[in-house]
């Protein structure tokens, strides 16, 4: 009886989290909308299954909730001082999660960003739950979906597609990465996207990243040839 009640509570919590995501991310461009959060959730659960976490309902709930809520407070859309930045904390508090589970979810969300790794932020980096959620988010940033998201975001910020006079910024610090002036969508491949394959934390993430990474390489080869009028 207790286990069935606990399972029912988990399902309801996920439904509420989905509603929070849809409301909080409404109106964003399609690179960081609710569909992105749902894709990351599905990827994270799939990776968690491959990594053997499915035997632990506790871990799977952490993975699903963290994956769903991970981008609500994204600095590109939300000020750290705004009420929107506190939505995740408020939701977890209202749901009455035990402190250890709540802190694990928040730790995953706070530490999974590319900019945080540039700053050697170690939030949650040793847990398998962290690894599958971060890998899922990074998988959604590469491959065909990643290419579509890259140009969608660039277009929303009026970035040019490509400018041979603007060199990619290599060896970026966190502060340099967050400074987006005079950047191009194509440079984002060199500054971030091509690096993600080798930053995967799980074996399952590494396997999937190989195909997506190659797809981007082939795309960029074709892009440059077309840009130069060679194709």
- pLDDT category, 120, cuts 50, 70, 90? low
C-alpha–C-alpha distance, residues 36 and 68, integer Å: 9
- For domain 2-227, is the CATH number 1.10.3210.50? yes
What lies within 8 Å, CB to CB, of 79 at 6+ separation is: 85
Give me the residue label for tokens 């910020």: 157
Q: What is the pLDDT of residues 147-198, one digit of tens each?
A: 999 999 999 999 999 999 999 988 776 666 666 667 899 999 999 999 999 9
CA dihedral for 24, 28, 34, 40, sign (positive or negative): negative
Q: What is the pLDDT of residue 122?
A: 46
26: left (phi over 0), alpha (psi -120 to 50) or beta: beta
Q: Is 78 left (phi over 0), alpha (psi -120 to 50) or beta?
A: beta
Tokens of 3: 């286990």
Q: Note the pTM of the prediction, 2 decimals.
A: 0.90
pLDDT recorded at residue 114: 74
Q: Which residues contact 8 (CB under 8 A, 6 or more apart)?
A: none
Round to whole Å and give the CA distance between 136 and 45.
9
**Main-chain dihedrals φ then ψ at residue 80, nearest 5 degrees:** -60, -25
What secondary structure letter does DSSP report for 127? S
Q: Work out the average pLDDT over 49-61.
A: 95
* Element holding 40 (H helix, E strand): helix 34-50
Closest CA to 176 of 118, 222, 104, 92: 118
Determine the 3-state secondary structure of 184 from DSSP.
Answer: strand
């Amino acid at each position: 009886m207790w286990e069935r009640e606990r399972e029912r509570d988990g399902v309801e919590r996920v439904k509420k989290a989905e509603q929070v995501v849809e409301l909080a991310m409404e109106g964003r461009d399609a690179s960081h909308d609710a569909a992105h959060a749902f894709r990351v959730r599905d990827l994270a659960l799939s990776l968690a299954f491959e990594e053997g976490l499915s035997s632990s309902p506790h871990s799977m709930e952490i993975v699903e909730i963290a994956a769903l809520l991970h981008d609500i407070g994204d600095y590109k859309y939300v000020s750290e001082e705004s009420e929107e930045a506190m939505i995740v904390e408020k939701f977890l508090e209202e749901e009455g999660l035990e402190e250890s589970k709540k802190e694990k979810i928040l730790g995953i969300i706070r530490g999974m960003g590319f900019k945080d790794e540039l700053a050697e932020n170690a939030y949650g980096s040793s847990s398998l739950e962290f690894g599958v959620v971060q890998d899922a988010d990074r998988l959604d940033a590469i491959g065909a979906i990643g290419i579509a998201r890259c140009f969608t975001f660039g277009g929303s910020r009026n970035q040019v597609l490509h400018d041979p006079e603007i060199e990619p910024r290599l060896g970026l610090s966190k502060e340099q990465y967050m400074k987006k002036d005079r950047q191009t969508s194509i440079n984002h491949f060199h500054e971030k996207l091509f690096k993600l394959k080798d930053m995967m934390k799980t074996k399952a993430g590494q396997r999937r990243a190989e195909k997506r990474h190659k797809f981007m390489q082939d795309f960029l080869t074709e892009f440059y040839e077309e840009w130069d009028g060679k194709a």
